[in-house]
Amino acid sequence: MNSLQPIDFIVFLVYFVIVASYGYWVYNKKKKAAVTASHDYFLAEGSLTWWAIGASLIASNISAEQFIGMSGNGYFVGISVAAYEWLAALALIIIAVWFMPVYLKNRIYTMPQFLKTRYNETVSLIMAIFWLLLYVFVNLTSILYLGAIAISGLIGPEYLHTVMLALAVFALIITLGGMKVIGYTDVIQVAVLIIGGFATIYFALTIVSEKFGLGRDAIAGFKTLMQHSPEHFKMILPKPDAATVSAATGGDVAAQNTIDKYLILPGITMYFAGQWIVNLNYWGCNQYITQRALGADLQTARKGILFAGFLKLMMPIIVMLPGIAAYVLHTSGNLPGLRGMDDAYSAILGFLPSGLKGLAIAALTAAIVASLAGKLNSIGTIFTLDIYMKYFKKHDIHAANTARAVAAEAGTAHVEKTTDSDEKQMVWTGRIVALVAIILAIVFEWKDFLGIGGKGGFTFIQEYTGFISPGVFAMFILGMFWKRTTGAAAVAGLLTGLAMSIFFKLYAVPLFGHETLLYTAFPTIEDGKQVWRIPFLINMGWAFFFTMLVMVSISLAGPRVNPKAFVLDRQMFKLKPSVVAMIVTTVLILTAIYAKFW
């Protein structure tokens, strides 16, 4: 089932040659542009169209964590995991309308720069270090590991480390060209991703149809999924009752599975808690994502972000339905030997015919490589612009500026020569940092030291990112729209968000019990022992609430208008008819989806 034929390798090779050739052409073309080397490498300033921005956002976002992790959660929980994707479409509307005007008017190029401009140097440095650690030890490691698991599942488990290295090298090659190369090759990547993804789910549904004696009919296959697993097609999971909790504490596996699903996606309550924090922080306060739009003008950035939101509506079909198909096939005895939920997607790919299997691997590789390349570029951008140039090259920059001033007075050409040298040094610093980051990720995931495989890839990323998301989002939202917010409040907010996230995960239940006005804890199994946990999305919601409370309290002790507050005006947020039309279309589609699967 998992063997590849020559046609599969040919299809994959064609994909690789097209992406590499196009990337090389874009790289050579950009050398003739008038944009400075560093801004071209880090931001692709002014050169990405709205459709390139939108495609790049999706290609960088949809990676192994979705294809493997979300498909695995689709296998385990069902369609409710699509809330991450579908609410992202609404979050992107908010980002396009309200966040981007603030960023672009104040010429913000990195997220630490935002924090320095709005607050102070201390907040900026703390968060730059936080983001670098998060990107390397949570995001890069999980993307590499899950991607290698998926592809090696098709070509043979013994090739796990070979695949990991190949993905890392491919991503580094694209990263060397900078954000412009990443942005435009992502257009090809997302096209391959969508075509290969839809082809995969089409054949998955026809396989389900065939296995249940209904012929090769994708629609019949989808109806079969709904008939044989109706609980997998509910957006809102019910809260486990006392009987279920009692059964789980007594060792009932089915009851424990019900509780574990709720711990991942806690029903309607998650829509009033962490789900919004996850999406708004990820899409609006994340260098890795916002970087694609920061080099564009406002209208181009808005259309690109809204286009990405429209594409997000389709993503659950591609990345989640294969997991549900794997669940129905496995429980009906047609998919024996499935090792775990993170193997669901590769198990479905194993059914595909020759040629299409190669396209599916190309789609998966496109998602993984695009995400890795974008993440590596963001790591290089933050380190170079917010740490290296500020703290390691500070003296050199001062000396260079003095030399430029003297040369300018003398009428010599020393100004341009020094500037070119600085620009090249910045670009090469970014490239070296990217190389070091990917090496660290490989080292930590060579033997899965972080335990991603045991927790489930998608949940691993969401939970551990959630430790800093409440504090970060509180800093950004108050910093943008409340003029009274102070730098001291920002530092306190960051520390409060982290402390409260840890408190609710580890200490709230032992101190206050399983049931309080703030939360309900449930039993689960960790490292072979039964422990009581609060759903992590609820933890995030309360951590955000207390962070906001602390920041507002501290800021009230300061001036009525902070000197570093941004100047906002209504004209910044005015929308063109074309933008309004895109927003209305997205909202109507989303409303129809929730009405159908509530």
Provide the terminal-to-terminal Cα distance of the chain, rounded to the nearest Å.
36
Over 60: is that where the pLDDT of 559 sits? yes
Q: Taking residues 521-539, what's their average pLDDT?
A: 89
- 150 has which bridge partners? none
User: pLDDT category, 34, cuts 50, 70, 90?
Assistant: very low
In a domain, 592, yes or no: yes
What's the mean per-residue pLDDT of the chain?
81
Task: State residue 406's pLDDT score.
Answer: 36
* CA gap 45, 294 in Å, rounded: 8
What CATH number should be reported for the domain holding residue 210?
Answer: 1.20.1730.10
- 523 has which bridge partners? 532
What kind and span of H or E run contains 526?
strand 522-526
Task: State residue 293's pLDDT score.
Answer: 76
* CA gap 379, 135 in Å, rounded: 7
Q: Which phi and psi angles does 58 have, rounded to 5°?
A: -70, -45
Task: State residue 184's pLDDT score.
Answer: 64
Burial class (CB in 10 A: 0-12, 13-18, 19+), 353: exposed
Span of 103-117, 195-209, 373-387, 442-456 with lowest mean pLDDT: 442-456
Over 60: is that where the pLDDT of 282 sits? yes
User: pLDDT category, 413, cuts 50, 70, 90?
Assistant: very low
In a domain, 547, yes or no: no
Specify which of 19-28, 317-326, 344-353, 391-400 reaches the highest per-range mean pLDDT: 317-326
> Is the distance from CB of 342 to CB of 176 less than 8 angstroms?
no
Q: Taking residues 93-109, what's their average pLDDT?
A: 90
* CA gap 75, 7 in Å, rounded: 30
Q: Taking residues 26-30, what's their average pLDDT?
A: 67
In a domain, 506, yes or no: no
Based on C-alpha coordinates, what's the Rg of the chain?
A: 24
pLDDT digits (tens, 9 = 90+) for 469-520: 899 999 999 999 999 999 999 999 989 999 999 999 889 999 999 999 999 9
Tokens of 518: 């703030």
Long-range contacts formed by 108-112: CB under 8 A, 24+ apart = 108/294, 109/42, 109/43, 109/294, 109/295, 109/381, 109/385, 110/287, 110/291, 110/381, 110/382, 110/385, 110/386, 111/285, 111/286, 111/287, 111/290, 111/382, 112/287, 112/382, 112/385, 112/386
Report CA 98 to chain centroid distance, whole Å: 20
Instruction: Give the residue ranges of DSSP H helices in 384-413.
Output: 394-410
In a domain, 166, yes or no: yes
User: pLDDT category, 172, cuts 50, 70, 90?
Assistant: confident
Task: State residue 403's pLDDT score.
Answer: 39
pLDDT digits (tens, 9 = 90+) for 259-275: 988 998 898 998 888 88
Over 90: is that where the pLDDT of 409 sits? no
Q: Which domain holds residue 17?
A: 6-465+568-597
> Is the distance from CB of 380 to CB of 207 less than 8 angstroms?
no
pLDDT digits (tens, 9 = 90+) for 112-153: 888 889 998 888 888 888 888 888 888 788 888 877 877 777
In a domain, 579, yes or no: yes
In a domain, 460, yes or no: yes
Domain count, the chain: 1
In a domain, 139, yes or no: yes
Over 70: is that where the pLDDT of 584 sits? yes
Percent of the chain topping pLDDT 70? 83
Tokens of 569: 């005006």
pLDDT digits (tens, 9 = 90+) for 326-376: 889 888 888 776 766 767 887 887 777 887 778 777 777 777 877 788 788
* CA gap 317, 279 in Å, rounded: 19
In a domain, 233, yes or no: yes
Instruction: Determine the angle formed by the axes of helices 160-176 and 178-211, rounding to 10 degrees.
Output: 140
User: pLDDT category, 407, cuts 50, 70, 90?
Assistant: very low
Q: What is the DSSP string of 446-477?
A: TTTTT-HHHH-HHHHHHHHHTTTHHHHHHHHH
Task: State residue 596's pLDDT score.
Answer: 87
